Amino acid sequence: MNNNNIEKENISFQPKKVFLFSGHMIDNKSRKDIRFPEYKSKIAGEKILKVLEELGANEEDLALTQGACGADILFTEACQLLDVKVIWLQPFDEITFLEKSVKPCASTWQKRYARCREKLYKNIHSLPQDNETTNPYEYCNRWLLSTALAYGNNKVSFITLWDGKDADRPGGTGHMYKEVQDKVANIIWIHTDEL
């Protein structure tokens, strides 16, 4: 599904505020440098919830993220707790996304993903895999951003759970941060080193 379709599909619902989110996956056991270990997930979830509460998040608002294990799911859980409508836009079909971005984490994250999925505002939207020249993660970041901005720049807050370093691979949280810097005025950065 392309950007225009997702934007048109949701035009009937005009959110008061739009929360765009990007954050780190939980570190898997093979990761050498610690970035977002499992033991930080509880406090990270609490910080995300606090940020949303401070922004007055409620049922009149919309949230956009991918749904990967770790920060995306913590953000989704916090939004759903506050009755914010959540949409997941993913860089692959859901089966591939699960293999790449959910199953590498502990099985508890797969269960949390499933619970969040049941409460999504709309079905999951996946990028069509017809452009081999574009990195799907980078493209998905831009897709998330353009979808958020379609509701009006003045409505958008970007929330990120990030260590401040360049991504391990193209299209990570660092890439999203760079994409939003000159396009979104309200940026809230939860630094993983400070958890």
pLDDT at 1: 39
Q: Are 157 and 186 in contact (CB under 8 A)?
A: yes
Structure-model confidence comparison of residues 26 and 1, the more confident one: 26
Tens digits of residue pLDDT in 139-178? 999 999 999 999 999 999 999 999 998 766 778 999 999 9
- Region 127-145: mean pLDDT is 84
Handedness of CA 129, 93, 65, 104 (dihedral sign): negative
Residue 130: pLDDT band with limits 50, 70, 90: low
Indicate whether this model's pTM tops 0.75: yes
Residue 2 has pLDDT above 50, yes or no: no
What share of the chain in percent tops pLDDT 70? Answer: 90
Average pLDDT over residues 70-84: 98
Q: At what angle do helices 71-81 and 107-118 cross, to 10 degrees?
A: 40
Residues 39/169, Cβ–Cβ less than 8 Å? no
- Confidence band (pLDDT; 50, 70, 90) for 131? low
Quote the pLDDT of residue 124.
95
What is d(CA 143, CA 140) in angstroms, rounded to the nearest whole number? 5
Whether the per-residue pLDDT at 184 is higher than 70: the answer is yes
Q: Which residue is listed with tokens 């370093």?
A: 165
- Residue 32 has which token pair? 């050498």
* Architecture (CATH level 2) of domain 3-7+16-26+35-159+173-194: 3-Layer(aba) Sandwich (3.40)
- Please state the three-class secondary structure of the chain as a single string: CCHHHHHHHCCCCCCCCEEEEEECECCCCCCCCCCCCHHHHHHHHHHHHHHHHHCCCCCCCEEEECCCCEHHHHHHHHHHHCCCEEEEEECCCHHHHHHHHCCCCCHHHHHHHHHHHHCCCCCCEECCCCCCCCCHHHHHHHHHHHHHHCCCHHHEEEEEEECCCCCCCCCCHHHHHHHHCCCCCEEEEEEHHHC
132 pLDDT higher than 80: no
* pLDDT at res. 16: 97
- Mention every residue, 6+ apart, whose C-beta is less than 8 A from residue 54: none
